[in-house]
Amino acid sequence: MRHLAPLFAFAAIIATVGFACGNGKAPGNPDAGDDDAADGPLQTFSFKPAGCGYTISPPATRAFEDLAVDDTSAPGGDITPARVRLGLGGGTDSSDKSTYADPHTSVSFTWETPTASHAAKVKLGTAPDTLGDLHTGYTWTTPKPTIGLSSANPKFMHEVHVCGLQPGTTYYYQVGGGPSGSETWSATQQFTTVPATGTITVGIQGDARDQVSTWQTVQERMLSAGVSMQLVVGDIVDIGTLEDLWTQWLDAIWKDPNDSAKFLTLGQQLLVPIAGNHENEAAQFYGNWSIPGDSEQYASFDVGNTHFVMVDDEFAQLQTDYTQAPASTILAWLDADLKAANQNRANVPFIVAMNHRGLFSTSNHSTDGDVLAARGQLAPIFDKYAVDVVFNGHDHEYERSKPVKAGSPATGDPVVGSVDGSSNPVSGTGTTYVICAGAGAEPYSTGEITKSYSLKQQGFGGSTKYIGTYSILTMSANTLQVDAYGLVSSGTDDKIDSFTLTH
């Protein structure tokens, strides 16, 4: 297993912390750097879940250790499952339906234990007392990072993928396993697969990294709204290499804070994030979540009438030559995926994309070099295939653009489309960009620069009554409705924006 020499002395670590918290930029990529063959080969591993068409092969560069399939060997200590979460596996090639990610019929279960074991089983059923459907998975250890800031201990992880479920169906489950006759199982939780028809809701949020209590409150709203799944546009924690932060943030949305015998959203609702800059491209981020594809840097899937695309845009900060991987891989995949989605609009009419950096913001990061670089690479592809809405984070505010298309050069100001009398985007005149980044991060100012492309701005904190913001998408027949809310600490949240698209 690769071991990299620490690069930061204590003074450098202090400087790095200030850099991360002060200007919104996180420390550099902890997986980059030393590839010296003297460090020894990295572990490779592949696993094909029974009943699923795809194979799981975590990239060796994640440096996951002790990868193994489920067995009944005796553990060395406590293996009580904790912080069970629901994610999504599957492939990223929409032309191959046998492998493509499908939140209507599949789900992945990820959890952690205090000590290592190879226990990776899920038993589930459609009633809490009939959990007769047994599935097995695999385990690994997410090691302590060897560069930059890190937690002291590794994390012992377990994951099981289940396919062939029925859409819109409630299932009950327990995770665990272990030696035959003395297994350790979690408490029973429940979830509902994403419906394939009818009205479907999806929650969207981003940037939770400063106030765990706000992140928790947003999750309470998502539970109350009964969304079918949640999508996160990055920056869940402040420093992605700090496993202690992941434990704290996940704990806050696992057990119901109002009733310890009940659960909140973790393990109850499907949750798929894409990395932000504060995730640091860290193994800890990838170890904590299940995202379609092996690299987990890009993914897509259909939900009802909408094709969702999620792209990790960290290449805009880490690279300058976008003809090289991973940027070249991500951008080529994005072009191919959106081309296929655009050709499939008769069946799935809407396209919604998500990446972390706010491509058309007027807030704190609006003129940052990496933001403009991401704009220059992503916006032309979104234009090429007439993406309807793009959701971003990074600037801690709510902001909606007018319908726009990339300008010339694409890194500059966009060309503004038309807006109808009700302030709704007009189909075919451009892409609407929405920044929804208020799930716990410190508030940023709105309107730091004045731009004609900005249609709606709403801050939080300060003199406002809001402590954050989140959005809910409602998909039904040929409509896609976006409702944004100003989060209040108590009482009813205000709807701060709403628009509807029709195809």
73-108 pLDDT tens trace: 999 999 999 999 999 999 999 999 999 999 999 999
Question: Could you give the CA distance from residue 416 to residue 402 in angstroms, rounded to a whole number?
Answer: 7
* 69 and 47 Cβ atoms separated by less than 8 Å: yes
Contacts of 167 (CB under 8 A, 6+ apart): 104, 105, 193, 194, 195, 196, 197
Among 147-151, 279-283, 419-423, 470-474, name the one with the lowest average pLDDT.
419-423
The mean per-residue pLDDT over the stretch 250-261 comes to: 94
Residue of 84, 240, 93, 96 lying closest to 172 (CA atoms): 84
The angle that helices 327-343 and 369-384 make with each other, rounded to 10 degrees, is: 30
In this predicted structure, the answer to whether residue 456 has a pLDDT above a threshold of 90 is yes
Give the model's confidence band at 42: pLDDT under 50 very low, under 70 low, under 90 confident, else very high: low
Question: Could you give the CA distance from residue 104 to residue 194 in angstroms, rounded to a whole number?
Answer: 5
- Kindly write down the DSSP assignment for every residue of 304-354, as one continuous string: TTEEEEEE--THHHH-S-TTSTTHHHHHHHHHHHHHHHHHTTTTS-EEEEE
In this predicted structure, the answer to whether residue 216 has a pLDDT above a threshold of 60 is yes
Query: Residue 224: in which H helix or E strand, if any?
Result: helix 212-225
- Kindly write down the DSSP assignment for every residue of 270-295, as one continuous string: EEEE---GGGTT-HHHHHH---SSSS
Q: Is 20 helix (H, G, I), strand (E, B) or coil?
A: helix
pLDDT of residue 279: 96
Give the model's confidence band at 26: pLDDT under 50 very low, under 70 low, under 90 confident, else very high: very low
In this predicted structure, the answer to whether residue 44 has a pLDDT above a threshold of 90 is no
Alpha helices in 27-99 (DSSP H): none
Question: Could you give the CA distance from residue 109 to residue 83 in angstroms, rounded to a whole number?
Answer: 10
DSSP-assigned letter for residue 492: P
Query: Residue 139: in which H helix or E strand, if any?
Result: strand 138-142
Give the model's confidence band at 2: pLDDT under 50 very low, under 70 low, under 90 confident, else very high: very low
Residue of 385, 384, 387, 365 lying closest to 374 (CA atoms): 365
pLDDT of residue 36: 37
In this predicted structure, the answer to whether residue 239 has a pLDDT above a threshold of 60 is yes
pLDDT of residue 151: 62
Q: Is 201 helix (H, G, I), strand (E, B) or coil?
A: strand
326 preceded by a cis bond (ω within 30 of 0): yes
Give the model's confidence band at 416: pLDDT under 50 very low, under 70 low, under 90 confident, else very high: very high
The total of other beta-carbon atoms located within 10 Å of residue 100's CB is 19
Give percent of the chain with pLDDT exceeding 70: 88
Mean pLDDT of the chain: 90
Q: In Å, what is the CA distance from 358 to each residue of 234, 238, 388, 392, 402?
A: 11, 18, 16, 5, 14
Tokens, residue 228:
């079918």
Q: What is the pLDDT of residues 419-432, one digit of tens each?
A: 665 556 655 589 99
Task: Report the C-alpha dihedral over residues 446, 467, 240, 432, rounded to 10 degrees.
Answer: -50
Phi and psi (nearest 5°) for 415? -90, 125
Give the model's confidence band at 147: pLDDT under 50 very low, under 70 low, under 90 confident, else very high: low
Q: What is the pLDDT of residues 367-414, one digit of tens each?
A: 999 999 999 999 999 999 999 999 999 999 999 999 999 999 999 999
Paired with 172 in beta bridges are: 125, 190
In this predicted structure, the answer to whether residue 300 has a pLDDT above a threshold of 80 is yes
pLDDT of residue 33: 34
Specify the CATH superfamily of domain 10-192.
Immunoglobulins (2.60.40.10)
The total of other beta-carbon atoms located within 10 Å of residue 48's CB is 12
Q: What is the pLDDT of residues 337-364, one digit of tens each?
A: 999 999 999 999 999 999 999 999 999 9
Residue type, 112: E
What are the sequence ranges of the domains in the chain? 10-192
pLDDT of residue 105: 98
409 preceded by a cis bond (ω within 30 of 0): yes
pLDDT of residue 29: 44
Give the model's confidence band at 41: pLDDT under 50 very low, under 70 low, under 90 confident, else very high: low
Q: Is 448 helix (H, G, I), strand (E, B) or coil?
A: coil
Give the model's confidence band at 286: pLDDT under 50 very low, under 70 low, under 90 confident, else very high: very high
pLDDT of residue 311: 98
The mean per-residue pLDDT over the stretch 214-227 comes to: 98
Give the model's confidence band at 145: pLDDT under 50 very low, under 70 low, under 90 confident, else very high: confident
The total of other beta-carbon atoms located within 10 Å of residue 320's CB is 11
Question: Could you give the CA distance from residue 64 to residue 301 in angstroms, rounded to a whole number?
Answer: 26
Contacts of 150 (CB under 8 A, 6+ apart): 144, 241, 242, 243
Give the model's confidence band at 153: pLDDT under 50 very low, under 70 low, under 90 confident, else very high: confident
